[in-house]
Structure 1
Amino acid sequence: MSSLISSAISSVTHPTTNQVTTTIGAIVLAFLVVLQQRKASALRTAVSANSSFSPSYLPVAIFVGGTGGIGQGTAEAFARHTKGNAHIIIIGRNRVAAETIISKFPKPTAEGAKHEFVYCDLTLMKNIENTTKSLLERLPRVNFLFLSTVSVTKLGREETEEGIDKKLATLYYGRFKFINDMLPALRNAAANHEAATVYCVLGAGRGKEIDWNNLGLKRSYNVFAIREQTIRYVDTITQELAAQNPILSFIHAWPGAVRTNASHSIESIPLRLALKTIMLLAYPISMTYAQSGEYMLYGMLSASEKPGWSRVDEDGTLMTKNEYIASNEERKRLWEHTIEETSRWKNMTL
């Protein structure tokens, strides 16, 4: 009997490797179950709120980078909850992908409702200007401008003919150019007492202090700096845009871990493998692009109810952590730099 008692005590005080592994596995499983339950509850909240969106006007929504990933998920959610009765424009380079996405939208029944694709290589500012000019000529108002563009093919710097790195062009400069050009149509929507919202998906709350001696990352360059700097650039410039346009809503969103096919376009084998590994490890806590689309739409619709600047978390709720407010001097300095970078091509022989 004493030997049995000793064995029992030993199993508690000196657990075997199998017992430790089983305990850790049980804890991880319990954590994942609770996490999934919370996510399911948050998703139901988002879907329910999105379903109640019923404006008295025909909404006009532009999805820049909507041919895949989060942009696709949000465009699909927007089409679904408006029952197709909206003017939806997907901007990007992949016509086949866009037309496939649009073909699955609910067929519109309201007058003026339509769904279309507009081609634009968003790495070049001259292309963006041509596209926005064309849009402004036929769109008197725009209610929602959603931007989620990204272009990562290699680890190193890839300068365009305009002297801007491709990654920075899609993550920051091109987004700014598109927003700044489309302001007249957004202001018209606000003047009509309609939603007038700019929604930028990148990494709200995850940026680092701007390196003012290396704007545009032309002195030193690496993929980590791109992420940290462009996030803070977006925070700062959208605050300046909100200050200049107090009747509009400007939102910067953090989408969290989302399963997309972004790695397919990466030419760098090490970078592609690294991204795939990260996505594999994050799979239990990540979400599909369709789920992210519901959350991002929820964030866009709810935050658009109030003009000004705000940040949204991965579940579409207003972000309260990692608060960052740029100074007037910082906003002005970045504004001047950004205007110069996005306009420099006009003085080039391209």
Structure 2
Amino acid sequence: MVSLKDIKKSNASLQDLPPGLVAVFVGATSGIGLGTLEALAKNANGPRAYIITRSKANATPIIDNLKLLNPMATFMPIEGQFSFIKDVDSMSEEIKRFETHIDILCISPGYLGLGGRHDTPEGMDTDSALQFYSRQRLIMNLLPLLERSSSPRVISVFAPGFEGPIDKDDLECRKHFDNIKACRAASTMTDLMFEELAKERPTVSFIHSYPGQVGGRLMDHALASASGLLWLPAQISRYTVLPVYTHLMCITPEEAGQRTLFLGTSTRFPPTTDHGITGKVDGFVERPNGVGVARSTVMKDGQGNGVYRVNWNAEIVKDSKLIDQYREEGYGKMVYDHTTNVFERSLSGNAN
């Protein structure tokens, strides 16, 4: 476990870097994302941060508070509906108009419904879009800018360690849909997709991060979305059990934010390609004393693949036999092809 003391010290050393670190955030108007954005504002020297949000007006008070933390920083809201691939594309293009590189892409939209499948106009389940498809679209759109960073880092805050089986004939979980089943499948596909992307972009580090139990609005949203027979017990739990659980069992969004910023900046998580060859570096901040380089998901001849499944405490999640099996059977390429096909279908106007 990397201590919070070491993490804060590591983050504070960002002040020693030249100004201009560039970050893009999704899900940063509350919870873990906002905690990470605040940690960046407190610690980085004149950073520029893009905040993808459904409403610029809702982001305004957040940006006002961030400017108080760091008057030299720049915070720019990018408006759109993240669960729509079309909007993800337009938001990506807007960022590209302003930037020549991106250092950190942090994606943490928190949503877990309990009310069954709800499709977007593009034909994707909303949960699955927010947990997997829209994330991958944004990553793929912005990879050319990430490759221009001296130390590019992609962080998807989700559920490593909670992967579940995927059906190669039903990767979208349309048959007998279940929210939890779809969530676990999305976690599995995240691992496999990151490994495929890392093969194409070996100078980028990809981190699939489990933030732990964090006091925030995710569970409240999940309980609020319950319907039918689940509605009454969900509402009782929402106003009785949840507040006690949050107070006694969860870390704060502020702590989760500090820990996520560490993932985005520490040399603990190097990419595949050695920086001595490419001229790039493997992180903006040196590792704390006693903290080694993390083990990536695939190691060969002492070289990692630049992909990491990380727990809330910056330690590596236990290996998954399921992922090992899917990797051996070539499921990564299948998931990659499926994902790009879903993008094409969604943008074609054919929702089925």
TM-score tier by shorter-chain length is: 0.7 to 0.9
More helix, by proportion:
1
Spell out the pairing of 1:276-315 with structure 2 (5 A cutoff).
277=241, 280-281=244-245, 283-302=247-266, 306-307=270-271, 308-315=306-313
Spell out the pairing of 1:84-103 with structure 2 (5 A cutoff).
85-103=46-64
CA contact (8 A) 1:67 1:94 kept: no
1:176 Cα offset (Å): 0.4
Q: Partners of 1:180 and 1:226 in 2: how far apart?
A: 22
Larger mean CA deviation between 54-63 and 250-259 belongs to 54-63
CA RMSD of aligned residues (A): 2.3
2:158 aligned residue: 202
2:71 aligned residue: 108
Q: Partners of 1:273 and 1:233 in 2: how far apart?
A: 34
1:295 Cα offset (Å): 1.1
1:292 Cα offset (Å): 0.7
* Unmatched segments (≥5 aa) in structure 1: 1-37
- After TM superposition, the score normalised by the length of structure 1 is 0.80
Name the amino acid aligned to 1:293.
G
Residue 247 (1) aligns with residue 203 (2): yes
Change over 3 Å in CA distance of 1:305–1:234 after alignment to 2: closer
- Greater gyration radius: 1
CA contact (8 A) 1:120 1:131 kept: yes
Partner SS for 1:90:
strand
1:135 Cα offset (Å): 1.2
Larger mean CA deviation between 292-301 and 139-148 belongs to 292-301
CA contact (8 A) 1:67 1:98 kept: yes
Q: Partners of 1:321 and 1:349 in 2: how far apart?
A: 40
Partner SS for 1:258:
coil
1:267 aligned residue: 225
Q: Partners of 2:28 and 2:178 in 1: how far apart?
A: 26
Deviations 1:312-339 (A, max 9, x none): 2102x23151344434711100001000
The count of corresponding residues between Structure 1 and Structure 2 is 302
CA contact (8 A) 2:105 2:154 kept: yes
Deviations 1:161-195 (A, max 9, x none): 11100000000000000001111111111xxxx22
Name the amino acid aligned to 2:178.
N
Spell out the pairing of 1:11-22 with structure 2 (5 A cutoff).
none
Q: Partners of 2:145 and 2:31 in 1: how far apart?
A: 26
2:283 aligned residue: none
Residue 61 (1) aligns with residue 33 (2): no
Change over 3 Å in CA distance of 1:282–1:337 after alignment to 2: same
* Unmatched segments (≥5 aa) in structure 2: 272-305
Q: Partners of 2:6 and 2:27 in 1: how far apart?
A: 26
CA contact (8 A) 1:249 1:304 kept: no
1:103 Cα offset (Å): 1.3
Q: Partners of 1:303 and 1:239 in 2: how far apart?
A: 19
Q: Partners of 2:190 and 2:156 in 1: how far apart?
A: 8
1:279 Cα offset (Å): 6.1
CA contact (8 A) 1:186 1:248 kept: yes
Partner SS for 1:216:
coil
Q: Partners of 1:328 and 1:176 in 2: how far apart?
A: 22
Residue 172 (1) aligns with residue 132 (2): yes
Name the amino acid aligned to 2:318.
K
Deviations 1:281-328 (A, max 9, x none): 36423111111111111122225751111122102x231513444347
1:237 Cα offset (Å): 0.6
1:234 counterpart (159, 179, 190): 190
2:3 counterpart (27, 36, 42): 42
Name the amino acid aligned to 1:234.
T
1:122 aligned residue: 82
